[in-house]
Amino acid sequence: MTEPFKLVKASVAKSFGHAAMRYDDVAVLQRQTGDELLERLSLVTLSPQRILDLGTGTGRNLMQLAARYPEAELLAIDIAPEMLQQAKQTFRTAMGFKRWLPNQRRPMLLAGDAESLPLADNSVDLVFANLALQWCDLLASFTEIERVLRPDGLLMFTTLGPDTLLELREAWASVDDYPHVNVFYDMHDVGEAMMNARLAEPVLDMDRYVLTYDSAMALMKDLKVLGARNVNQGRRRGLTGRQALKLVADYYEQFRDDGVLPASYEVIFGHAWAGTLNPQTRAQDGSVSIPISAIKGLSE
Ligand SMILES: C[S@@+](CC[C@H](N)C(=O)[O-])C[C@H]1O[C@@H](n2cnc3c(N)ncnc32)[C@H](O)[C@@H]1O
């Protein structure tokens, strides 16, 4: 596995906590990938009794899941309590007075870490995680997800791949040698972590999304509002003053196309089932070979 970025949990929780109020104003990519993930979920026949929206953020997908599976009990977990407050508000607004009707199900909102889920073994039928796992240690999170999934349970997720924000990364690299943009796992790492966590029949593919901005400053401002700050442990700040930002913005101009600046995102879509691996897949030394057929889109 390539060296993943080391996360400072408190810093992630704090960033997203600060972001909670204004997150929905700028979460354009998150809405697009969330919709796509829901679309993919509609292709699976499933009658989940209990659903977990992991890294729920402001709870937008939680409401979609509630509408799709009205009989299901809904759980939402996020590391930032302020996000859960917003999710509660999203639920209130979406339900209006209906939330007072008898037998109306309310989502259970839990502050917690994907790497150490506050849930019992075999207790959830569907784990939905849109753009949250890129903030987590993947093996620890997948292991926890596998633990809490019931035997026929399904995990559906998106995460970010290494080409995410490549233009911004290049622009910063022209200014100094410090990491200013998070490092993300590639699809092989994601697949390996899924197999090592003993998730069954993992399937992965990748899609590129391009958001456009008027200026590099507008992009960096949006990232800040989203709470998507650089959390590389031990990072030294390097140059971050006005002069450095101007150099980044100037460099970024070379990417301008049709009057706008692109910000590329590599989005990895994945799903897998609970269950242990076929013993033939795992070698005696504990290593795991991933069948190429299990990873779609590698040559894209
Ligand atoms: C980019 S937001 C996505 C939110 C939501 N899923 C959506 O689609 O809009 C990432 C969310 O993951 C949460 N998060 C980050 N690390 C986490 C962890 N270790 N455990 C649980 N939640 C985490 C953040 O607080 C944030 O709300």
The DSSP result for 103-121, as a single string, is T---PEEEE-BTTB-SS-T
Q: From ligand 1's centre to the CA of 279, what distance in Å?
A: 33
Residue 6: per-residue pLDDT = 57
DSSP assignment of 155-182, as one string?
Answer: EEEEEE-TTTTHHHHHHHHTT-SS--S-
Q: From ligand 1's centre to the CA of 55, what distance in Å?
A: 3
The phi-psi region of residue 64 (left if phi > 0; otherwise alpha if psi is between -120 and 50; otherwise beta) is alpha
In a domain, 199, yes or no: yes
pTM: 0.88
Asked if 165 and 268 count as a contact pair (C-beta separation under 8 A), the reply is no
Residue 256: per-residue pLDDT = 97
Residue 227: per-residue pLDDT = 77
In a domain, 246, yes or no: no
**Which residue range(s) make up the domain with 57?**
9-165+181-211+266-277
Q: Which atom of ligand 1 is nearest to the CA of 15?
A: 25
Count the Cβ atoms, other than its own, within 10 Å of residue 210.
12
Q: From ligand 1's centre to the CA of 159, what distance in Å?
A: 11
Residue 149, ligand 1, Cβ within 6 A? no
Q: Which atom of ligand 1 is nearest to the CA of 9?
A: 19
Q: From ligand 1's centre to the CA of 136, what distance in Å?
A: 9
In a domain, 117, yes or no: yes
Residue 300: per-residue pLDDT = 31
Q: From ligand 1's centre to the CA of 264, what distance in Å?
A: 20
Q: At what angle do helices 60-68 and 28-41 cross, to 10 degrees?
A: 20
Q: From ligand 1's centre to the CA of 181, what distance in Å?
A: 17
As a whole number of angstroms, the distance between CA 274 and CA 271 comes to 10
Residue 17, ligand 1, Cβ within 6 A? no
In a domain, 250, yes or no: no
Asked if 215 and 198 count as a contact pair (C-beta separation under 8 A), the reply is no
Residue 144, ligand 1, Cβ within 6 A? no
Residue 117, ligand 1, Cβ within 6 A? no
In a domain, 222, yes or no: no
Residue 179: per-residue pLDDT = 76
Burial group, residue 182, by CB count within 10 angstroms (0-12, 13-18, 19+): buried
Domain containing residue 113: CATH number: 3.40.50.150
Residue 19, ligand 1, Cβ within 6 A? no
Residue 282: per-residue pLDDT = 42
Torsion sign, CA atoms 156, 159, 162, 163 = positive
Residue 265, ligand 1, Cβ within 6 A? no
Residue 276: per-residue pLDDT = 58
Residue 130, ligand 1, Cβ within 6 A? yes
3-class DSSP state of 215: coil
Q: Per the structure, how many domains does the chain have?
A: 1
pLDDT, tens digit only, all 300 positions of the chain:
444 555 678 888 888 888 888 888 888 999 999 999 999 999 999 999 999 999 999 999 999 999 999 999 999 999 999 999 999 999 989 888 777 777 777 899 999 999 999 999 999 999 999 999 999 999 999 999 999 999 999 999 999 999 999 999 999 999 887 777 788 899 999 999 999 999 999 999 999 999 999 999 999 988 888 877 665 544 555 556 788 889 999 999 999 999 999 999 999 999 999 975 444 444 444 444 444 444 444 333
C-alpha dihedral over 1, 136, 213, 253, to 10 degrees?
A: -40
In a domain, 102, yes or no: yes
3-class DSSP state of 20: coil
As a whole number of angstroms, the distance between CA 24 and CA 179 comes to 27
Residue 27: per-residue pLDDT = 87
Residue 238: per-residue pLDDT = 56
Residue 77, ligand 1, Cβ within 6 A? yes
Q: From ligand 1's centre to the CA of 283, what distance in Å?
A: 34
